[in-house]
Structure 1
Amino acid sequence: MDVAVHITQQVEADALLSRSALAVLVGALLDWQVPSEWAFAQPAVIARRLGGEDLDTHRIAQHDPAHLAALFAAPPAVHDSPALMARRVQELCRHLVARHDGRAAAVWEQAATGRELYRRINELPGFGRQKSQIFVALLGKQYGVRPDGWREAAGAYGEDGVHRSVADVTGPESLEKVCAHRQEVRRAAKESKVRPAEHHHL
């Protein structure tokens, strides 16, 4: 990966997201009921707690589950549900080892179409329909992963010129617009008493 993303507005965290495919996947996985910019900053925190500057798929997959959960829970916790997320991150890494030889980028490198890209992402543990669509949009908009039909596979998140998700965060100004969009979605949902389609953002 040779890009420069500015998702978290934190130099170390964004540097890791710019070079590590696994960090991007882990950040996306953690993006559940917490702010996206917080979730995507946590791979750098996890790497430090594991004693390095980068994340290692095999090491996390083989790590003692109880110890990993303790690392996630140590203050400040990497998520509001640290034990659950430690288990999910480990499940993700074990899937990558079993299916992709531990290479996170292999999930999208061999996808020939947007539909296939979506399918391969959707097969990952913890990646439902919406999270998969947003991740397709993130890969296309910020990481140059653009097989034919990727925007269609990403749904509304793939549209150009919008500020709907983390895929559209490129700096402080765009982050503010994405946050404003989320607040509007929540406000509208509260008024209609219907759970928002974009409540569990990525």
Structure 2
Amino acid sequence: MAIQVHFAQRPEANELLGRSPLAALTGMLLDQQVPMEWAFSGPYTITERLGTGDLDAHQIAAYDPEAFAALLSEKPAVHRYPGSMAKRIQQLCQYLVDHYGGDAEAIWRDAGSGKELFKRLNALPGYGKQKAQIFVALLGKQYGVRPEGWREAAGAYGDEGSRRSVADITGPESLAEVRAFKQEAKAAAKAKK
């Protein structure tokens, strides 16, 4: 895989995200109720605390749940809710072990269509429709994974030139644009209530 990404705004975290499919999936999993760059730095922080250079689905799935939660809770915490996120990461890794032999990239390596890719991502623990659509867009726009119909499967997140999500971040300027879009969407939703 090994590509250059700019989600975490930390070179060492971005390097891991660019070469590790499991790190990218984990960053997306963590991307809720915290700033994107914090979420996408999480996989690198986990590798540092595990003392490994990469994430391994088998290792994480087999890790003692209390010890793994403690690992994510160390200061600074990997997430605002480190205990629940530790559980979700382990569930994700167990699913990958059970369904893909622990190989995260297998989710998209042989996906025959965007629809199939979306279905596979949507089935992941901790992923729902929106997260799956964003990840389809992320794969298509940043990682070059473009099965037929990927833009349609990604919904509005797949739109060319959009600034809606992490899929559109290529540096500090686009991060600011995505952040502004999210703030406007949040304000519009609040105004509706």
CA distance in structure 2 between the partners assigned to 1:118 and 1:128 by the alignment: 10
CA distance in 2, matches of 1:2, 1:65: 30
Structure 2's unaligned 5+ residue stretches are: none
Q: Quick check: 2:2–2:20 contact (8 Å CA) kept in 1?
A: no
- Stretches of structure 1 that go unaligned for 5 or more consecutive residues are 194-202
The answer for the alignment partner of 1:134 in structure 2 is: 134
CA distance in 1, matches of 2:146, 2:189: 32
Counterpart Cα distance in 1 of 2:179 and 2:93: 30
Match of 2:180 in 1: 180
**SS of the residue 2:72 aligns to:** helix
Q: Which residue of 1 aligns with 2:86?
A: 86
In the TM superposition, what is the alpha-carbon distance from 1:52 to its structure 2 partner?
Answer: 1.4
SS at match of 1:126: coil
Equivalent-residue separation in structure 1 for 2:128 and 2:180 (angstroms): 24
In the other structure, the counterpart of 1:165 is: 165
- CA displacement 1:139-172 (0-9 Å, x = unmatched): 0000000000000000000000010000000100
Count of matched residue pairs: 193
The offset of 1:34, in angstroms, is 1.0
Q: Where does 1:88-107 land on structure 2 (aligned, <5 Å)?
A: 88-107=88-107
Structure 1 ranges of 4+ moved more than 2 A: none
d(CA) in 2 for partners of 1:11, 1:83: 26
- After TM superposition, give the deviation of residue 2 of structure 1 in Å: 2.5
Q: Tell me which of the two structures has the higher relative contact order, counting C-alpha pairs closer than 8 angstroms and 6 or more residues apart.
A: 1
Partner of 1:200: none
Give CA deviations for 1:82-116 in whole Å, capped at 9, x if unaligned: 10000000000000001000000001111010000
The residue identity in structure 2 corresponding to 1:16 is: L
TM-score (norm 2): 0.98
1:5 counterpart residue number: 5
**Structure 2 counterpart of 1:105, which letter?**
E
TM value normalised by structure 1? 0.94
Matches within 5 A, 1:55-134: 55-134=55-134
Which residue identity lines up with residue 49 of structure 1 in the other structure? Answer: R
Aligned-partner SS, 1:76:
coil
Separation in 1, partners of 2:64, 2:98: 18
User: Which residues of 2 match residues 15-54 of structure 1 at below 5 A?
Assistant: 15-54=15-54
SS in 2 for 1:146: coil
Shift of 1:36: 1.3
Tell me which amino acid in the other structure corresponds to 2:43: P
Residues in 1 aligned to 2:118 and 2:191: alpha-carbon distance in whole angstroms: 33
Distance 2:43 2:163 in 1: 23
Number of the residue aligned with 1:198: none
Q: Residue 137 of structure 2 aligns to which amino acid in structure 1?
A: A
Q: What is the aligned-residue RMSD (CA, Å)?
A: 0.7
